[in-house]
Amino acid sequence: MSGDNHAGAAELVTGAQAVIKSLEALGVEVVFGYPGGAIMPAYDPLIDADLQHVLVRHEQGAVHMAEGYAHATGRVGVCIVTSGPAATNLVTGLADAHMDSIPVLAITGQVARSAIGSDAFQEADVTGITMPITKHNELVQSPERIAGAIKEAYHVAQSGRPGPVLVDIPKDVLNATFAWAWPERVDLPGYRPTVRGHGKMIREALQLIAASERPVIYAGGGLVRAGAGEELFAFATRLGLPVVTTLMARGIFPDTHELAVGMPGMHGHYSGVIALQEADLLVTLGARFDDRVTGDLDSFAPHAKVVHVDVDPAEIGKNRAVDVPIVGDVKVVLGQLLKVLDDKDDTAFAPAIDAWREHVRDLKRDHPLRVDQPDTGVLKPQTAIRAVYETWGDEAVYVAGVGQHQMWSAQVIPYTRGRQWINSGGLGTMGFAVPAAIGAKVGVGRDTPVVAIDGDGCFQMTFQELATAVQHDIPVIFCVVNNGYLGMVRQWQHLFYDDRLSQVALPQDCPDLMKIADAYGIPGFRVMTVDELDTTLAKAREITDQPVLVEFRVDPDEMVFPMVPGGASNDDIIESADEWRARLARAGR
């Protein structure tokens, strides 16, 4: 069929070799994986391949590492595992990557074609299972299809709105011998993402901005995926627009800049939440009006018109009606917007909003994060996280799991660039941090510190990957904020279930994390009190050539504030535990 071989006699290869050659041809440097029956043929040519393989301890680790790598570098993260249970172990990570638009290529082994459908050993309908949680997937039906399937998968994963793509390859296809050919181009007639924004819409957006009195840029994770930090900075500063950065976008606009208003959402900064509520225009860039940002949708930003830029047309108008829709790559669209600004008089579209900027600055100044670190020595988690930041600094990449520690890390650390903050947003996957940090470290290299900030609940879900970090010499700093509870669940039970705590206690000293560090042969440090913080972290900082584990025993009673209770309006934001108690008292409870 394909007459692509122009180099004379075609090279004969096995399907397994074709998999490896395809990855090499795509420039893949590293794959995260775990061998097993159906994928075993591919692990043989891997020995001689120009590819680094990171052997994980659980397949979920492989996909989260691929995510961490992709998130940190912007390149496609690749994982490779066998059929059945190995492939189903990818499900959580694929769903996570799907929610957060992370480019991941997953290659799974499958039972031989003749056995498909027979309930064979380690058989599962993996394309069926992963259909709703991947951007695309394919069961490869012939060896000749391998290269095309992998090349297309890689292309789909990283283009348009990025996401996970899975390629499932039967064992007999991997074992078959055939004539190798690398397809010259990707042929996907039904897949043509829109890159450039519509010129008319670009001008309309600028006119809305020019006429606005209280505009806010609502900056989302799409900006990080598009690598649009520079363009965003130029655009926001040229027009003097305040910027909120969502959980997925932390750092894409520097928190240190005077136009930065903080994070919106359920546990956002007061200024970030209220700026959106009061705005008369949301310039929405690569954000999707997630329920954790909007709270009660009907009362979200009630006075605001909406400009919405997104590469995925389906996001536009999905949750919130839009006045100016712009479908396109947000980096390209920002370039188009800047071009119009360049062509016009510089002030043509800059709104006269000095009073609004002043007001937003006041919100920030008058409503800072409240952390009451007592002098009793009891360590508040926010104090620990701030100290972690002060130890490893702005150059480090910070990776969180899911829960209270994640929210504190998002709130407390001043991020200054995209890809500096990695976490599981949409799916909220506990256990994300340890493997994602390992993947991120593989991506950013030895010179950039990668610090995982994890909770004790999350850590116990995936800490077996410490062995991966040790075996492959991946020096991640693993910090565990140990409060002996599933803290976020406990917080909700405290606030909304009359403090009836149900199944949330995790013994603070079981497992003994210092013994865990010992067992994996890495240095372990434990901080019990505020006084020990600086000296202990200074010691941990010294260790740069191997993984290190730092445990903080923190106050279990600390809660995350501000908070917008689930389903409530953002207008009902509660800034502190004291404020919550005062409200309860007023309500007569």
Partner 1 sequence: MDRHTLSVLVENKPGVLTRIAGMFARRNYNIHSLAVGPTDDARVSRLTLVVGAEAVQLEQIVKQLNKLVHVLKIVELEADESVVREMQLVKVAAEGAHRSQIIELADVFRAKIVDVDHDSITIEAAGDPSKLEAMVNLLEPYGIREMVRSGTIALARGSKSITDGSKVRMQRVV
Residues that bind partner 1 (CB under 8 A): 127-128, 131-132, 135-136, 139, 141, 156, 188-192, 312-314, 317-318
Angstrom CA distances, 496 to 188, 463, 569, stand at 50, 31, 16
Locus of tokens 């930065």: 260
Residue tagged active-site, from 11, 24, 52, 121: 121
CB of 317 to partner 1, least distance (A): 6
Residue tagged active-site, from 21, 151, 171, 380: 171
Instruction: Check: CB of residue 588 under 8 Å from CB of residue 581.
Output: no
Task: Look at the alpha carbons of 445, 151, 163, 434 in this order and tell me if their dihedral is positive or negative.
Answer: negative
Question: Which residue number, 1 or 585, has a Cβ lying nearer to partner 1?
Answer: 1
Pairing of strands 397-400, 324-327: unpaired
Question: Which residue number, 314 or 538, has a Cβ lying nearer to partner 1?
Answer: 314
Question: Which residue number, 66 or 156, has a Cβ lying nearer to partner 1?
Answer: 156
Torsion region of 568: left, alpha or beta (phi above 0 gives left; psi -120 to 50 gives alpha): beta
Q: Is 211 helix (H, G, I), strand (E, B) or coil?
A: helix
Q: Which residue type, as a one-letter code, is found at position 222?
A: G
DSSP secondary structure letter of residue 465: G
Question: Which residue number, 3 or 27, has a Cβ lying nearer to partner 1?
Answer: 3
CB of 127 to partner 1, least distance (A): 7
CB of 164 to partner 1, least distance (A): 13
Residue tagged active-site, from 21, 32, 59, 525: 59
Q: Catalytic annotation on 121?
A: yes
Query: How many Å apart are CA 29 and CA 116, to the nearest integer?
Result: 32
Q: Catalytic annotation on 171?
A: yes
Which tokens hold the place of 39? 């994928």
Q: Catalytic annotation on 551?
A: no
Query: How many Å apart are CA 397 and CA 405, to the nearest integer?
Result: 16
Instruction: Check: CB of residue 320 under 8 Å from CB of residue 294.
Output: yes
CB of 189 to partner 1, least distance (A): 5
Q: Is 219 helix (H, G, I), strand (E, B) or coil?
A: strand
Question: Which residue number, 83 or 137, has a Cβ lying nearer to partner 1?
Answer: 137
Locus of tokens 């492939």: 87
Question: Which residue number, 284 or 460, has a Cβ lying nearer to partner 1?
Answer: 284
Locus of tokens 């090499």: 24
CB of 170 to partner 1, least distance (A): 13
Q: Which residue type, as a one-letter code, is found at position 25?
A: A
Which tokens hold the place of 480? 């565990």
Q: Catalytic annotation on 508?
A: no
DSSP secondary structure letter of residue 197: P
Question: Which residue number, 318 or 583, has a Cβ lying nearer to partner 1?
Answer: 318
CB of 66 to partner 1, least distance (A): 20
CB of 119 to partner 1, least distance (A): 19
Query: How many Å apart are CA 526 and CA 532, to the nearest integer?
Result: 9
Q: Catalytic annotation on 488?
A: yes
End-to-end CA distance of the chain: 76
Q: Single out the residue of 155, 238, 176, 191 nearest to residue 19, CA to CA.
A: 176
Report the catalytic residues.
59, 121-122, 171, 488
